[in-house]
Chain A
Amino acid sequence: MNILDIRDLCKIYGQVAALLDITLSVGQGEWVAIMGPSGSGKTTMMNIIGCMDKASSGSVILDRQDLSRLSPAELTAIRRDKIGLVFQQFHLIPYLTALENVMVAQYYHSLTDEDEAMQALVRVGLGDRAGHLPRQLSGGEQQRVCIARALINSPSLLLADEPTGNLDEANETIVMNLLEQLHREGSTIVLVTHDLEVAAHAQRTVFLEHGRLARIERNTGRLPPE
């Protein structure tokens, strides 16, 4: 069963077609990487899948709901309930501790639960950093807090836009291992990257060029999900 079905998706900004006739399906538990040069429409696609922007035409069906038919308030609810976001720039709230940054997602979702938030931090290996402010954490640690926050409400889909773009190699490995682990545990992941090595962790890689879907490659050397 597919968690995401994109059909003939277009996004036009004035004269610029950021996305043109994209058709793509992502299965439950699948990991898909999106690659393409700068300006090829990767972020635009993430924004539409993540319910932060609307398509100009075409349909996007997320977990059996057609996003193009939803009101802004309904889109907000989908973001809250079904999407987990990981950003290149982490976007942690600077005046909140690691633990509180995770709890923010709980706060907007339903109720805060400190124990659960703590468990999420332990899961990304930051149990001993819960009380630290973002500026007291390394880039890799900040990204792991961001991942813990993305996971806290058990989203149907994890969206990561260049999650390793601001990390050194050692931290990249830590974050990719973490994503691998999440994937093994059943998370569906859509990940944007420039980096072939990072893309190689996914089962399929989608190549975008000038807003068009150029080709899809099935990655070898990887086991398909059970």
Chain B
Amino acid sequence: MGNRSSRFLFKMLAGSLLRRRSRMAVALFGIALGATALLGMVTLCYDIPRQLTREFRSYGANMVFLSSGQAPLSLDAVEKAVPLLPGDHLLGLTPFRYLPVRSAMVPYTMAGTDFSQAAKTSPYWRVEGRWPEKENEILIGADIAEFARLEPGRTLPIDGRNSSMSRFRKDLLICGVLRTGGAEDGLLFMNLAAMEAMTGEGRLADVVEISLSMKEEDLRALAAAIQAAVPGLEARLVTRVTQSEASVLGKLDMLVTLVAMVVLLLTMICVATTMMTVVLERRREIGLKKALGAENRRIVEEFLAEGILLGAMGGLGGALCGFAFAQLVCMHVFGRSIDIVFSLIPLTVLVSVGITIAACLAPARQAMNVEPALVLRGE
């Protein structure tokens, strides 16, 4: 086909699209709706498992480091293990050191930790008052606050002995009350470095809690690798959460794939019906073109060109709406924003064009069967 002819084909398409706006809008709307649903589903399909993994992580750590011997774990060993953790899946790493202390003859357990990390590995921690910032500031568990009638702003003098039995004492300022509903409600919490300074102990931890967004098999392999690489350190999975997580995600994946396929089928039916209506509405026009001597090949060519154009435009519009839709769902359900995968845009356009072409085949056959004689009969 000559260049001039293809330019005229384009002119006809443009005329058909721009001057029959309401009709074409219906077709476009159908295609765009399909593309929206499709891209929305695919984005969610891709994003939901990741969101859920993060969501599951909010139930706490899924791996812990412990000492493999009697003595507490040295932070040096932990630092050796950290480079082995995949940085992009690591949500948080929190050391805990537990020490018996007394205040006014009442025994308590003081936990030293890194508060900024604790907020990540234990997102369910709720603090009334504020998180500690200075060296002498502590959080007290909600149970302690209740029984000992303590509240933020009060000073708590404590004393105790470190592991080498030398005494320490210090006045600590309560800045917040920690409520988790778990064992933490019966503990005192202070900054680990401040605790080391107070007790004069070296850098030790009883347990390190780690939160990783990874599948169970990978976690298991990782734990084994770390344990092999760092002597004296035992890496363990917190299995209960991890297992249910895997089975829920697997089911969800299947569900979303199924829904996406149904959406694909519905889109195809929608587009095919639209294009069939287009053929019916334009029987006279097709008959006229044939009466003017158009070969079937040209009629089908025009039809597919129109389908491709509609598919591309609908696909592009639908892709943008699909992101908006996925974003909306994600914001409502998870309260987070989706990761937009830009390569999905050309993919959606391609799929829409493909679906439109497939959906146009039956109507195109119908168009081929239109008799030119009908233009004189003037139905």
Contacts and interface: CB of A to CB of B under 8 A. Distances in A.
Contacts of B291: 50, 52, 79, 85, 91
Interface string A30-68: 000000000000010011001011000000000000000
Interface string B341-361: 000000000000000000000
B285 to A, nearest CB: 6
B4 A111 contact: yes
A109 B16 CA distance: 21
Nearest to A161: B376
B5 A95 contact: no
B12 A79 contact: no
B8 interface: yes
Given A52-B372, A93-B288, A100 B12 contact: yes
Interface residues of A, number: 35
A196 B5 CA distance: 43
B4 to A, nearest CB: 5
B8 A107 contact: yes
A50 B376 contact: yes
Interface in B255-308: 284-285, 288-295, 298
B19 A91 contact: no
Contact of B293 (A76, A91, A133): A76
A52 B376 contact: yes
Nearest to B20: A95
Contacts of B288: 91, 93
A176 interface: no
9 contacts: A53-B371, A91-B288, A95-B15, A100-B8, A100-B15, A107-B5, A108-B292, A109-B292, A161-B376
A46 B376 contact: yes
A77 B378 CA distance: 23
A169 B306 CA distance: 41
Given A79-B292, A95-B20, A108-B289, A53 B378 contact: no
Interface in A68-115: 73, 76-77, 79-81, 83, 85, 87-89, 91, 93-97, 100, 103-105, 107-109, 111-112
B376 to A, nearest CB: 5
A100 B16 CA distance: 12
A112 to B, nearest CB: 5
A112 B4 contact: yes
